[in-house]
Structure 1
Amino acid sequence: RIASALAAPRTVALLRTRVRGVPRVRLAWTSGGHHRALAWATARALVARTSAIVNDPRAAPLRVEVAPEARGTLVIVPEVRPDPRFAYRVRDVPAASHPTIAAALARLGGVRPDDVVWDPFVGSGLELVERARLGPFRRLCGSDLDPRALAAARENLAAAGISNAELLLDHACRAHPPGVTLILTNPPMGRRVARDGSLGALLEQFVRHAATVLVPGGRWVWLSPLDRRTERFARAAGLTVEAGPHVDIGGFTARIQVLRRPGA
């Protein structure tokens, strides 16, 4: 009965929406235990019924939870494993970017071989890692007020095989690396860091400062926790603003913004 339920066209169609190629599944018993004899019998019966699903008890991306007595409902659960793509993240700091967000920001920023990349709130360094992985650049620079963040960034960059990034202990509103063509950053988020109501003032000061750091023709990609205010600040500083999607950041939202300084 279990094999028949798995081989049913509706089940196969559902499984195919969750993976690429032929779905591979692993049986898991709701009552616990291995039930090896039943598992083998179910696997043989599944092979006899269909080639559209493969039983893979070791590395299947989907787990099928079912009662050994074949009653109730089949529950399909994606297996969540660490992504080897982000194995370089060996250190973390509070409020740092998730690597998938860092990767998305880097891709939106694009690649120019003459890029001088600055992350003014470098945190654990993931935006710099992801930009370096995309293609050639001239310089990578990150700054932060927290020595622990710089230490974490240094370790993550080293784990990713990047040895030529510059990490500076400096305030985002004072640091002024020369020739910056691309700013990639995930700034402090209000509910996590700036709990005293000063976040808006910090972001306004930073936007005005960063607009002077960015060279003509430069671009800037970030997550803004106060997107309407930062858009207003950016336009007042002479930047163009392209609004991207909202992103859920652990229970509240920020918005991706792509800013550019007109010019060469």
Structure 2
Amino acid sequence: MPHLVLRTIDGAADLLIEDLRAMSSIRSICQLSAETVECAVDGPLDELAASALYFTAEPDREAAEVAPLSWMRRFGRLERLPWSTNPVVAEVLVRLAKIRPGHRVLDPFCGTGTILLAVRRRAPTARVVGTDHDPHALEIATRNGTQDLARAKADALPFKDRSVDRVVTNLPFGKQVGSHALNRTLYPAVLSELDRVLTPDGRAVLLTEDKRLLAQAIQRSALKLVRERLLKYNGATPTAYVLTRPRRR
């Protein structure tokens, strides 16, 4: 029975373990570190290959065949820009969104479409839409296989009030895209627009490293912070913020 060491990101190991526990072909699971999980596989690799919560799978011996678990086999050939969302990070954000069948899911900073593709993998019946102000990024997103894209700014979305069930996005936080100075006005404006388009039971998952600024904007917004998840990868330490509408008494 081959053992595999799966490498993920710090902040996603618990979600990966949850996936593994639901697989009939997995016989044992052991978390080795914040970024690695070991498991024993007894059967086909199809279930494991369907998970998008790890980068690589390393066998404990040369004989183990792990070709079906390769990055290309699981994620496909994606065109990317330097600031494109990491596919494993995108998967974590989508899990936090708790998307249900038929939900309309929006990424207002969709870039090359990584989060949109993660939504489609996780929730095939969701209605996925993406917007971005950069036409070049939207062209790449189209080549990556995403649909229902529109050029628009995130603080002026082309959607009706209360028409979006879930928002999942990687905000610009000033390292490769945007700036801290611009975010001072951008973050409050985006939160106001999300408040407008989200349904009464809507949910938003926002990733950023400009944490203090977003936290301050959330405190002044009509949305409620219900959860935070710190992620660590490639020297980055962003936090995913999960927002909902306050419950009416």
Aligned pairs for 1:90-169 (under 5 A) are 90-157=78-145, 165-169=147-151
For residue 214 of structure 1, what is the aligned residue in structure 2? 198
Query: Per chain length, whose mean CA-contact separation is higher, i.e. which structure has more relative contact order (CA < 8 Å, sep 6+)?
Result: 2
The Cα shift of 1:257 comes to 0.6
Change (3 A) 1:21 1:257: same
Change (3 A) 1:60 1:115: closer
What are the ranges of 5 or more consecutive residues in structure 2 without an aligned counterpart?
1-30, 42-59
Change (3 A) 1:242 1:152: same
Query: Could you tell me how far apart the structure 1 residues matched to 2:178 and 2:132 are?
Result: 15
SS at match of 1:198: helix
For residue 73 of structure 2, what is the aligned residue in structure 1? 84
Change (3 A) 1:92 1:210: same
Using the aligned pairs only, state the percent identity: 28
TM-score by length of 1: 0.64
Change (3 A) 1:157 1:191: same
Change (3 A) 1:228 1:189: closer
Query: Could you tell me how far apart the structure 2 residues matched to 1:112 and 1:60 are?
Result: 32
Query: Could you tell me how far apart the structure 2 residues matched to 1:186 and 1:260 are?
Result: 17
CA contact (8 A) 2:164 2:197 kept: yes
CA contact (8 A) 1:118 1:177 kept: no
Alpha-carbon displacement from aligned partner over 1:81-122 (angstroms, at most 9, x marks no partner):
5352211x4211231100001111111111222311110000
Q: Which has the larger radius of gyration?
A: 1
Change (3 A) 1:93 1:107: same
The Cα shift of 1:235 comes to 3.5
Per mean C-alpha deviation after superposition, the further-off stretch among 241-250 and 126-135 is 241-250
Query: Could you tell me how far apart the structure 1 residues matched to 2:184 and 2:119 are?
Result: 27
| 1:234 matches 2:218 | yes
SS at match of 2:167: strand
SS at match of 1:91: coil
Query: Could you tell me how far apart the structure 2 residues matched to 1:60 and 1:97 are?
Result: 25
Query: Could you tell me how far apart the structure 1 residues matched to 2:220 and 2:118 are?
Result: 30
CA contact (8 A) 1:127 1:185 kept: yes
Query: Could you tell me how far apart the structure 1 residues matched to 2:212 and 2:117 are?
Result: 29
